[in-house]
Amino acid sequence: MKVKCTWIIAAVTLALILLSLPLLSACASPQAKPGQVLKIGMINPATGPAAEKGRVMMAANVDGVKYINDELGGAAGYQIEVQALDSNYDTAKVVTIVKKLMDDGCILFTTAASAEMSAAKDAANKAGFPGISCFSSPSLYRPPAHIYGQTPDYGDDALAFANYYMKNIWKGQGKPKFALHLLSNPTGYGARDAFKAKADELGIEVVSIDEHKDTTISEMESLTRIKGKNPDVLYISSTPKPASIIIKNARELGLYPGITIGVCHAGLTKALIDLGGSDVVEGVYGTYPTVLWGDDVPGMTKMIEYCKKYRPEYEGNADYMGSWAQSLIVAEALKLAVKNAGYDMLAKGDAASWKTVESQGIQKLNGYDVGGLHGPVSYTPGDNRLDKFNRVYKIVGGKIAQPSAWVEAPLVKYEQYDWFGK
């Protein structure tokens, strides 16, 4: 009888434990109450001179957040409420938007372009309002403050391409001659600064530096001067529309083919091929931080599903992939912040909330895998680039192809050079 009673007591105890498990699980996972959301802002140049990129990137940001909310239950159980705003690629408008986002209780913000973040960074850094830029330039976060780069920056692009060229393309004697054609904003200046810092170390000679506007319609004059320098390489750090014009003009002058042309990852997208024409841009090299559209990686299927359903016109565009990944990274940072500090610390959307999402979210990212769409995302103290891996591609048969191995971009502390920022 004593043994029987012991078994009965044990069975009852076990039943009580099992019955309590759902309750314990519910207590462990936060459950949002009505009205409890995580507010963020996402800025893209959906109109204006960079609209060929911004429209795609805004769509991907919005679609990515929809996927996170509808299929993943938000970030740590809380829906993400996004203000997706158009900057028109206008720096004055960006400053106004960032101040609005702070006033509206957003706890972090993103930009598509380095030019947007360059305009936003002073106000954001002063307030401690954290931002993540999909496309970046060293000037955004050297020295590090509250702005983060999603992927390798335009300086990293320039160095990755130059290293690839020296190892795989250059067959001549002495130093190859590089001519730089740079968009007159941080997209161009990042490459300029990289070559200025590392050209001697790379064993190259920069023979000319020219700038162009995002509204340029012809660069025949500048390219005629460049042709007179007899360069081996023309490196273009720009967006697709100006880059396509420069490559067209280079062909018209007989400068290309005959030299090697490389472009930064702002320019190496499907839009470059569409705007320039596949025959014109054939053989152009460039860097990009994502895999190819359709590659066999875990995150590809869901991204393509949403793109086909909601934005079929952007299918195959790598900019969609980059901004989709940006939404995933934001959600992961918010999830970590809720887990580490609790929703109440984020709810007010004030300076304390900004500090929390930065220190307990963004800075806790450690090897986060965005479904293999690009390199792993980690914060490293002293280095505000979250993904540090890049690839070199080549346009072949009207498609971006021939990916190189992944290359990790080394940290360059530009602020140690007395000319940086001047």
Evaluate whether residue 13 is within a structural domain: no
Residue 255, amino acid: L
**pLDDT over threshold 50, residue 6:** no
Cα–Cα nearest to 396, from 245, 258, 292, 253: 292
The pLDDT value recorded for residue 342 is 97
Q: What is the pLDDT of residue 224?
A: 98
Task: Please check the confidence at residue 22 and state whether its pLDDT lies above 60.
Answer: no
DSSP 385: B
- On whether both 128 and 164 belong to a single domain, the answer is no
Q: Rounded distance, CA 181 to CA 26, Å?
A: 57
- In percent, the amount of the chain with pLDDT more than 90 equals 91
Q: What is the pLDDT of residues 245-298, one digit of tens each?
A: 999 999 999 999 999 999 999 999 999 999 999 999 999 999 999 999 999 999
Tell whether 145 is covered by a domain.
yes
Domain tally, the chain: 2
For residues 190 and 142, state if they share a domain.
no
For 98-151, the pLDDT digits (tens) are: 999 999 999 999 999 999 999 999 999 999 999 999 999 999 999 999 999 999
Does 269 share its domain with 190?
Answer: yes
Q: Are residues 159 and 257 both part of a single domain?
A: yes
User: CATH number of the domain that 105 lies in?
Assistant: 3.40.50.2300
pLDDT at residue 30 tops 70: no
Q: Average of pLDDT values for 297-308?
A: 98
204 and 274 together in one domain: yes
Does one domain contain both 49 and 119?
Answer: yes
**161 shares its domain with 283:** yes
Residue 403's pLDDT is: 96
Taking residues 48-67, report their average pLDDT.
96
Residue 23, pLDDT above cutoff 60? no
Q: Is residue 29 pLDDT above 70, yes or no? A: no
- Considering the domain boundaries, does residue 366 fall inside one? yes
Q: Which residues pair with 261 in a beta bridge?
A: 234
Query: Is pLDDT above 60 for 15?
Result: no
Same domain, residue pair 60 and 148: yes
- Please state the rounded mean pLDDT for residues 68-81: 98
C-beta separation of 71 from 263 below 8 A: no
Distance of alpha carbon 368 from alpha carbon 184, whole angstroms: 34
Task: Report d(CA 261, CA 255) in Å as an integer.
Answer: 10
Per-residue pLDDT at 31: 73
Q: Categorize the per-residue pLDDT at 5 as very low, low, confident or very high, splitting at 50, 70 and 90.
A: very low
Q: Of 46, 72, 78, 39, nearest to 328 (Cα)?
A: 72
At residue 324, φ and ψ (nearest 5 deg) are -60, -45
Whether residue 383 is contained in a domain is answered as yes
Whether 207 and 277 map to the same domain: the answer is: yes
Using pLDDT thresholds of 50, 70 and 90, give the confidence band for residue 35.
Answer: confident
Structural domain range at position 60: 37-152+295-387
Across residues 35-46, what is the average pLDDT? Answer: 96
Q: 């100006």: which residue's tokens? A: 242
Is there a domain that residue 259 lies in?
yes
Q: Is residue 275 part of a domain?
A: yes
Residue 7 belongs to some domain of the structure = no
Tell whether 284 and 355 lie within a shared domain: no
pLDDT at 3 over 90: no
CA 69 to mean position of chain CA atoms: 21
Report how far residue 292's alpha carbon sits from residue 1's, in angstroms, rounded to the nearest whole number.
71
Residue whose token pair is 């590659």: 295
Determine, yes or no, domain membership for 343: yes
**Alpha-carbon distance 256 to 181, whole Å?**
14
131 and 166 share a domain? no
Query: Do 144 and 163 sit in the same domain of this protein?
Result: no
Specify the pTM: 0.89
